Structure formats: C-alpha cells, structure tokens
Chains A and B, each alone.
Chain A
Amino acid sequence: MKNKGLTKVDLIFESIDIMKVMKKAFEMTSDEIIQQILESGLKGRGGAGFPTGLKWKYTAAEKDPEKYIVCNADEGEPGTFKDREILDKVASKVYAGMTIAGKAMGARKGFIYLRGEYRFLLPQLFVELHKFHKLINEIGYDFSIEYRMGSGAYICGEESALFESIEGFRGEPRNKPPYPTVSGLFSKPTSINNVETLVTAVMIIEKGANEYFKLGTKDSRGSKVFSISGDTPIPGIFELELGMTVQEFVNEFGDGDTKAVQVGGASGFCVPRKKFGETIIGFEGVPTGGSMKLFNSSRSMYNLLHNYLDFFAEESCGQCTPCRVGCQQLLKGVEKVKKGEAKSTYLNELVKLADTMKVASKCGLGQSVGNAFKSIVENFREEIIY
C-alpha cells in the first residue's frame, strides 16, 4: 500500500479466534485483565478519551453485586461511521470485549445501545449474538448481552443520557458525580465503553499490552479507526497509528486543495491550513472519536458553522440554560452578523458566550459546542462576516 509516512494498522478488523482470546482472558484474574488494559495506555475511543483501564478499575472496585457493562453504539457525531463498520464486520469481537470487561469488573449483564438509524444492522447482529451466547454457554460462562435502540437523539450518546434512555426516561444528562462507575445504569456501577474501545481491549488481551503500547505517542497510545469524509478522493474507514500531524493526514487523504480539516465532528475542532503542520491528531493536540472531514477551498466556512450550530440548537436536550439558549444565540448571532444586522464585533460577544458554554454547561454536548464555534470563527472570521 502507498504510504506517505502514515502507518496503517489492522487490529480492529483483523479476524481472530474469539474462543481462544476469551479463554485466555478467563484464565487471567480480574486484576490481570485490568492491569493489561492500564498498561496498554488505551483511552476511550468515543472521543472523550478517559483511560479505559481506570474506568474498569473503578467499576471493579465497587462492592455492589449487580453491575453493568454498556456498549455505547449510539454513533451520532456528524462524520463518524466507524462503529457501524465494526459492528457490521466484527460484531463478535464487540461481544467478546463486553464479556471480558464483564469478567474484569464482575458484571453479568451487558447492554448495547444502538443508534436508531442503525436498526437495519439488527438482524445480522442478532444472528451473531445468538452464536456468541451459545459459545459462552459452552464455556459455561454466565454473561448475556441485550440490545437497546436509540431513537435518533444525539444527546443519548452522552453516557448518563444514554442510561436514562435505556431506563425508559427522557434522554437527559444527569448531574455528575456520581459517575457511572459508582452509579450508572439502573443506579448500579456501570462501565460504559465505545464499540471500538471494547474491540481494542480484546486485541490488547490477544496481543499483549506491550505490543499495543509500542504504537502511538505518549498521550495517545495505539491506533485508531478513522471515518474520513468530505473533499477527499478516498473517503472511508482507515485504521491508523496515532500521533500523526494534520499535515501528514492531509498529504495522504487531501485532494490537493484542503483548506481545513474538522477533527472530531461537530463537537470537535476546525484546523485551518496554516496550522496543519503543528497540530497532532490525538490527545496532545486535537482528539477525535474518529470523524475527519476535509474541506477544500470551494467550501464556505460560514455554511459549515451554520450547519453545526443548527445541529446543536436542534440536538441540545434543552435541559440546561447555557446549552439550550446558548446554541440558539450563537446561531442567530452569526446569521445577524452575516446579514449585516449586527456589528462584526458582536462575534467577540459570541466567542465569550461560547467560553461560558464550555465551562457552565451540564454535559459534554454544551461544553463542546464552543470547540467548533471558536475554531471556525477565530480562523475564518472574514468568511463569517462577509
């Protein structure tokens, strides 16, 4: 394969002997499994990047005999479509990841919260799940997995809103603390992990933490599946070693006219051409749950921003003030500036508002609206005004 400095990795989609890796995990103690995950340096692949090993450790430390492992498959971030591919191609590895996590934490029950729009995957996923349940029955291990469907609300990808949704309530984020590891689904200790995180954990058990640790950088270990879209000749799903700069990424995936890359979807950051070289894709730079959108010079950054703000004004749960009203104000504000009905300096007020939303919103949704807003307004100010 043509390689301009990016290392392609094949962990997630690699076909492995599920039985073998599970047996390996079952021979390990709970502590040993968690230790492996901790040593691998794996951070959550949904985007927020909480160390997976710690999440498992905290959940394992809880005394409650009833615990849950929840797989967050509510893949709703604009531009992200890697979890769909993972579930489509290697669902059994997701199930294995949940089972191993269950073993590590003492959970006997897992739920997969599947994005409503992915309902079409269900028939095949059920076939796989049936086979999987049979398999662990043969081993004589007590663990079962159930699917729960989302209904299209972006907010239900937020972990505590997701729990509310599974429990049958309106999907609204909870106050934290308590964190899910202490009181999550049905108020029981819960580890909630992204689809890719669970599969990665399986591969860490399979290959050993050391092998995984060798990949990536200090803050961003391992590899990651990217969903690449926009102005690129090769859109699709690619698993890459972490640690590349946006420039290296654009060299490989750009169309030669890339002016900006939106890293991490609507809630992520917009990186302009002038910052491609200095910006690392990862937790030391701009993190992403997988979404990478390339924009060439034919694209209006105002339209992009407007689209994102429209999205957030619609998808905020509406519970907390900064997010519910803030999103509407940002949207209406940029419209007014564009139309010349508000002074261009009004953008400065809106940037301050975005800062407030970042520190005062109740959950990650409202807190991250400012990411896209600020990075677009600050880097493409003239496109917003004129």
Chain B
Amino acid sequence: MVTLKINEQEVKVAEGTTVLEAAKKLGVIIPTLCNHPDLCVAGNCRVCVVEQTGARTLIAACAMPVSEGMDIHTNSLKVRNARKHIVELLLSEHRADCTKCYKNQKCELQTLANEYSFGEHIFLDLVEDHSYSIDRSSPAFIKDDSKCIRCQRCVRTCSQLQHVSAIAVANKGAHMKISSFHDRPMSHVVCTNCGQCVNRCPTGALTEKTYIDQVWDAIYDPEKHVVVQTAPAVRVALGEDLGYDPGERVTGKMVTALRQLGFDSVLDTDFTADLTIIEEGTELLTRLKKVLVENDHSMALPMFTSCSPGWIKFIEHKYPQMLPNLSTCKSPQQMFGALAKTFYAQKRKLDPSKIVSVSIMPCTAKKYEADRPEMRSSGYKDIDFVLTTRELAVMIKQAGIDFRSLEPDNYDSIMGTSTGAGVIFGATGGVMEAALRTAYELVTGKPVPFKNLNIMPVRGMEGVKEATIKIEGTTEEWRFLEGAELKVAIAHGLVNANKIAKAVSTGKAQYHFIEIMACPGGCLGGGGQPIPTNAAIRQKRMEAIYSEDMHMDLRKSHENPEIIAIYNEFLEKPNGHKSHELLHTHYIERESY
C-alpha cells in the first residue's frame, strides 16, 4: 500500500493506482477528457493535470501512478490556470456551433467549458485555418473533423476493443488528424459501423446518423402504417437516457411511450429472435448431420452466428475465407423487416408499400445492415429506418412525454409475443443459451440440464467463453448425436472475435457452434446505447437482461405460440422454401483495408 496526500487529505491505495483513482477514492473530482475506463491510458488531453509538490511540471493524474509520500494539489492556482488554458485551447480548434450540434448538452467538452471558460475566449479561432469536410458516407454515423479534439478515444476503441483500426492518427503537429486508410470515406474502409467510437467520442465529432425527422414524417403521414420493433437490449438501457440508474428495466413504459409517439403497432424484435433460434438451430443441426454423419463437406463447421452486423462486416473484410461458416440466417431485425411487409401485411390486410418499418436498436451497425442491398426480400426496403436507443430517448423528450409517470403496457400481437430466450439475445452468450435451450430439447425431448434453464457457463463478461454440452438421451431422429459433445464458444468485442476467428481459421481450435457479438458485452454494450457505456454499466444491463428473462412466462423459443403459428400459417417449416426466401441471406467478400 502507498500513502499519499491529495489536497491535504491522506489516502492509502494499492501500488500501481493512478493519482486520478486515488483522488476518486477521496471524493476529489479531477476532470478528464481523453480518459475512458474501457481504454488504455493516453494522457494526451492534459485536462487532468494536477500539481505535485516538488515536481518540475504538472502531472497528468490519469497517467501518473501514486508513490509514497506524494503531495498532490488538484485545485491550486497553477492547476486552474493550466486547465483553463487547456480547455480554451481545445475550444479554439473545435467548431463550437453548439446550438446546432447533435451532442448539445451531451458534450464533455461543453461541460468542461461551462466550468473553465466563460466570457471572452482568450485564444484565436483555429477552425477557419483548416479545411474540414464532413464524412457522411456511412449510413450509420457522421464524422465531422471540425469538432474533433484529437483525444484519440475513437482510435484506441477501434484498435484495442475492436481490432479493426479503420481510423488512426495521421500527420503531425497542426495537421494531425484522425483519418482512415488514404483518407478514404468511412464507407470504403474496413469500418464495421459498430459505433463503439461514436459511443466514446466526447464531442460531436462522431455521431450516429440520425433518422428521427424521417420517422416523425412517417408517423404524421396519414397514408402510412408505421410499425416499430424494439431490440432486446434497448429495454434495459433506455432508462439511462431518461433519468433512471443503469440496470433499470423499462420495457412496459417504453411500449406505452412508443404508442404515445404515434406508432401504429408496437412490436418486438424478441419475436424474431425466437424465430432466429428455430431457423439457426435447424441450420446448425442440419450442418452437423451433413458434415458429421453424411460426410458431406459442402457445408462448413463450425457455424458462426450472424445476428451482429458489425461482426458480419468484420468477417467479410478480414476472414472472407470463412464466410461459408457464417449462418445464412438474417439478424432478428432483418427477419422482422422481411416479415413485416409480407406476413404482417397479409394478416393485417395492409398494402406493404404503405408500411413503414422502424426499428429501435442498441446499435449503429443496424443502420448499415438495413441499407444492405440484400435486405429487400419483401420486395421493398425491409427496414426503412433504424433508430438507436439514444435517438428513441430524444424522441420521447421531443414529444414531451413524462416517461416516469407512464403506465407500463404490453406489445401488440402478431410479431409481438416473445420468450425469455429472445430477450437474452441482448447479452453476450444469450444467443448461444437460447439456441441450446431449444436445440437440446429438440434432440433429446428433455430441457437442457441446467437449473432454471440458466446455462451459466455461457454467461458473463469473459472475452472468450467456451463450453461443452454432452448430448444424452436423444430421440430416434437424432440418434446420431447420442453421446456427442457439442463444443461451443462465445466472443464479444471484435478483438475477442478476432482471437476465435484466427484460432478457427488456422485450425488451432475445434468448435461446432460459435456466437459472436461485435460489441463488448453483446448488444447491451452496443454503439447505439446511452453514453456513457462502460464495464460497470454493461454489468448492470446484463443483470437486467437476465432478470427480464426470469420474469417471462415462456423461456424457450420453440414454445412461443406466435412462432408455432407463423410456421403453421405462413413459413411452413424451418429452413423451408419461404424461410430461405425471406429469412436467409448471403455475404460478400470485401477488401481488407
């Protein structure tokens, strides 16, 4: 243990603790900007400088480990003067058109400006000296360099969390900027649109491309029938943007709010999550049978899940040779979209050209996914607009809805009924768990041998998880699987996905089924979720997801009555002709830069 003094108060902390963490322990707040708990220390914005008695210079609290007898002052005149200068310097290179900015009142630089810079600015405006352009090439997000303060959170996110490095630091000095390969537009590089950078950008330099106005237009258009679906992870995070603590489940209130916003039908992505389990589970069993029993290697094992559009784009860029290993199932969002303008339209006797299909997602990559040319199997654009959890919160505020006072309500029917298996899609390991709950039962006629159906080995925040499920007591049809050990793996965050993909592609790891989610923690940590998102908050959201599951009457996808009905009335059978037409897709090899 190390003893030091901060603002004359003594504190004892473990060796290796930073001054910033030690101060936090005392309740002393030191402002930070480039620092983010998910990322390595950078120490480059210098906002956190503090004074150490006897030191020649100020020190960056985020990067300085404590040492015995240190005497730190966090609010001396020298510190305040330096901090004010630093904030003013950042403002001088930042296009501060705050009232027009999407991040207005959610901007960390603005918050600092409130504390350190009012009245006349000291320094000269540098924005005019640079020729900045706004990159709107991605359907998922906008990159506006004129608002960038070069904290490099995005760069560290892209390399450390995602192993993508679509953006990196280019040039030096006054010309230093965050750029893509050869300054290409973001739509033409390895970017997966995961939005993790957007989630961590302290300013308005990286923001989701918003479709709020288009959705309002659709809602107010009397000709249009606007359906909305909500992804599993939205319900455990939306509250954070509306004044609740992380981990609060607001499913019922969210449904009421969506209805009050004017959506004609409030439906649930969890329904198509259940459907995904049936389709993907069947696909897995088919692949197992073909490869292991019939020795037909036209199908590849292991099979990777395909729910995460960030992961899809990652594998298309980085491991195109493994595209045959990717399940052909569309993501739940896109299955929903394809069915909304076919099955739903038929049932409700609606003209599909008049249906506007909106989805609320914890994700920015879903905006990209909805724009993929493959995603038009209904004959129309299957999903018209994708909004993030954050955008939904904005709409609720715009409509003047007092969210806290809302009475909870239930989803509409036809594609609104779901099970606990659907909701756990929102957490890493959830798709795996949901698939196992169904597949095991399908093959053995018995529920998975885990207490309360909770398959604990596939849960949790470990970057890469592995589990082996022994299949015993198979029914006649599945006798070939008797005694087989199903080897599964789960990864979340593309840096972990890359580990598994590499191990599989080099033959170092043998699995049958692999779940991959592009974002840390799975969808609950998605790029479209409330800011901030960090490990502690992801943990809370995860607990909420599993609690939501436990509160559901049905917890196995194949028991969802609407799923049974849709096969009877429309799809006929899993992986059947209609399924392939509407619910499955194909992938594209992409360049690796």
List the interface of chain A (C-beta within 8 A of B). Answer: 153, 155, 170, 172, 175, 177, 312-322, 324-329, 332-333, 336, 342, 349, 352-353, 356, 358-362, 367
Which residues from A are CB-within-8-Å of B123? Answer: 325, 329, 333, 349, 353
B41 within 8 A of A: yes
Residues of B close to A320: CB separation below 8 A: 43-46
CB A98 to nearest CB in B, in angstroms, measures: 29
Closest to A319 in B: B44
A333 partner residues in chain B, CB cutoff 8 A: 123-124
User: Is B44 in contact with A315, judged by CB distance below 8 angstroms?
Assistant: no
Known interface pairs A321-B89, A356-B82; A327-B173 also in contact (CB < 8 Å)? yes
Instruction: Report the Cα distance A381→B129, complex, angstroms.
Output: 26
Interfacial chain A residues near B41, Cβ < 8 Å: 175
CB distance from B314 to the nearest CB of A (A): 23
Minimum CB–CB distance from B478 to chain A (whole Å) comes to 52
Contact of A321 among B46, B65, B122 (CB under 8 A): B46
Bound state CA distance, A93 and B92, in angstroms?
Answer: 49
Quick check: A356 and B174 within 8 Å, CB to CB?
no
B46/A322 in contact, CB under 8 A: yes
* Any A CB within 8 A of the CB of B268: no
Judge whether A362 and B43 touch: CB under 8 Å: yes
Which residues 26-85 of B sit at the A interface, judged by CB distance below 8 A? Answer: 41, 43-47, 49, 56-58, 60, 63-65, 78, 81-82, 85
Supposing A318-B174, A359-B57, A367-B57 touch, asked if A349 and B89 sit within 8 A by C-beta, the answer is no
- A356: which B residues are within 8 A, CB to CB? 81-82, 85-86
| Cβ-based interface call for B171 (8 A) | yes
Q: Does B330 contact A (CB under 8 A)?
A: no
Query: In whole angstroms, what is the CA distance A102 to B180 when docked?
Result: 41
B172 within 8 A of A: yes
Residues from chain A with a CB closer than 8 A to the CB of B60 are 175, 362
List B contacts of A170 (CB < 8 A): 169
Contact of B126 among A316, A328, A352 (CB under 8 A): A328
Measured CB to CB, the nearest residue on chain B to A358 is B57
The answer to whether A359 touches B124, judged by C-beta atoms less than 8 angstroms apart, is no
Contact between chains at A324 and B150 (CB < 8 Å): yes
Instruction: From the candidates A314, A325, A362, A367, name the one contacting B172 in the complex (CB within 8 A).
Output: A314
Q: Is B340 an interface residue (CB 8 A)?
A: no
Closest to B41 in A: A175
Interface 0/1 of B174-203, CB less than 8 Å to A: 111000000000000000000000000000
A313 to B176, CA, bound (A): 10
A318 touches B176 (CB 8 A): yes
Closest 6 CB pairs of A and B: A318-B176, A325-B89, A175-B63, A356-B85, A316-B173, A175-B43
Tell whether B90 is near chain A: CB-to-CB under 8 Å.
Answer: yes
Q: In the docked arrangement, what's the CA distance between A316 and B44, Å? A: 13
Please measure, in the bound complex, the distance between the C-alpha atom of A342 and the C-alpha atom of B41, giving whole angstroms.
38
Bound Cα distance from A325 to B122, whole angstroms:
13
Instruction: With A359-B57, A359-B82 as known contacts, state yes or no: A325 contacts B126, CB within 8 Å.
Output: yes
Pair B63/A353 contact, Cβ less than 8 Å:
no
Task: Give A228 Cβ to nearest chain B Cβ, in Å.
Answer: 28
Q: Can you spell out 19 A-B residue pairs with CB atoms less than 8 angstroms apart? A: A155-B172, A175-B64, A313-B173, A314-B172, A316-B173, A316-B174, A317-B173, A318-B171, A318-B175, A321-B89, A321-B149, A325-B90, A325-B92, A342-B124, A349-B122, A356-B85, A359-B57, A360-B57, A362-B60
Known: A329-B126, A332-B126, A336-B124. A322 touches B89 (CB 8 A): yes
* A residues near B90, Cβ cutoff 8 Å: 321, 325
- Measured CB to CB, the nearest residue on chain B to A311 is B173
Q: Given the complex, which residues of A lie within 8 Å of B152, measured CB to CB?
A: 319
Query: Which residues of chain A are within 8 angstroms of B171 by Cβ–Cβ distance?
Result: 318
A367 contacts across to B, CB distance below 8 A: 57
A324 to B92, CA, bound (A): 12
Known contacts being A155-B172, A175-B63, A177-B65, is A325 close to B82, with CB within 8 Å? Answer: no
Q: Answer whether A324 and B86 are a contact pair too, CB < 8 Å, given A332-B126, A352-B81.
A: no
Inside 8 A of A177's CB, which chain B residues have their CB?
64-65
A326-B46 contact in complex given A316-B173, A317-B176, A359-B78, C-beta closer than 8 Å: no
- Residues from chain A with a CB closer than 8 A to the CB of B82 are 322, 356, 359-360
B93 within 8 A of A: yes
B174 and A360 within 8 A (CB): no
Contact call B173/A314, Cβ cutoff below 8 A: yes
**Are A360 and B46 in contact, CB atoms less than 8 angstroms apart?**
yes
Q: How many Å from the CB of A332 to the closest CB on chain B?
A: 5
How many Å lie between the Cα of A325 and that of B152 in the bound state? 15
Residues of A within 8 A of B124 (CB): 329, 332-333, 336, 342
Quick check: A360 and B176 within 8 Å, CB to CB? Answer: no
What CA separation (Å) do A325 and B175 show in the bound complex? 10
Given A317-B172, A318-B150, CB of A360 within 8 Å of CB of B49: yes
- Tell me, in angstroms, the Cα distance from A367 to B171 when the chains sit together: 21
Q: Is the CB of B174 within 8 A of A313?
A: yes
Cβ–Cβ < 8 Å partners of B122 in chain A: 349, 353
> What CA separation (Å) do A144 and B46 show in the bound complex?
40
B174 and A324 within 8 A (CB):
yes
Chain B residue at smallest Cβ distance from A176: B63
- Determine the distance from Cα of A327 to Cα of B41 in the docked complex, in whole angstroms: 24
CB of A151, distance to nearest CB on chain B (Å):
11
Q: Closest residue of chain B to A314, judged by CB?
A: B173
Verify A324–B126 contact, CB threshold 8 A: no
Question: In the assembled complex, which residues on chain A have CB atoms less than 8 Å from the CB atom of B47?
Answer: 321
**B174 CB, min distance to chain A CBs, angstroms:** 5
- Structural contact, A321 and B86, CB atoms closer than 8 A: yes
- Residue ID in chain B nearest A366 by CB atoms: B46
Please measure, in the bound complex, the distance between the C-alpha atom of A336 and the C-alpha atom of B123, giving whole angstroms: 11
Cα A281 to Cα B583 in complex, Å, equals 79
Tell me the complex Cα distance, A66–B353, Å.
Answer: 70
A332-B92 Cα distance, complex, nearest whole Å: 12
Chain B contacts of A336 at CB under 8 A?
124
B163 CB → nearest A CB, Å? 16
Q: How far is the CA of A345 from the CA of B96 in the complex (A)?
A: 26
Separation in Å of the A325 CB from the closest CB of chain B?
Answer: 4
Q: Which residues of B contact A319 (CB under 8 A)?
A: 44, 150, 152, 169, 176
Q: Which residues of B contact A327 (CB under 8 A)?
A: 173-174
Checking B45, B81, B92, B172 against A318 with a beta-carbon cut-off of 8 angstroms, the contacting residue is B172
Give the distance in Å from the alpha carbon of A321 to the alpha carbon of B90 in the complex. Answer: 7
Contact of A352 among B64, B85, B174 (CB under 8 A): B85
Complex alpha-carbon distance, A327 and B173, angstroms: 8
Q: Are A359 and B58 in contact (CB under 8 A)?
A: yes
Q: Which residues of B contact A321 (CB under 8 A)?
A: 44-47, 86, 89-90, 149-150
Closest to B168 in A: A170
Write out the residue numbers on chain A whose beta carbons fall within 8 Å of the beta carbon of B172. 153, 155, 314-318
Q: In the bound complex, what is the Cα–Cα distance between A312 and B43 (angstroms)?
A: 20
Q: How far is the CB of A322 from chain B (nearest CB, A)?
A: 6
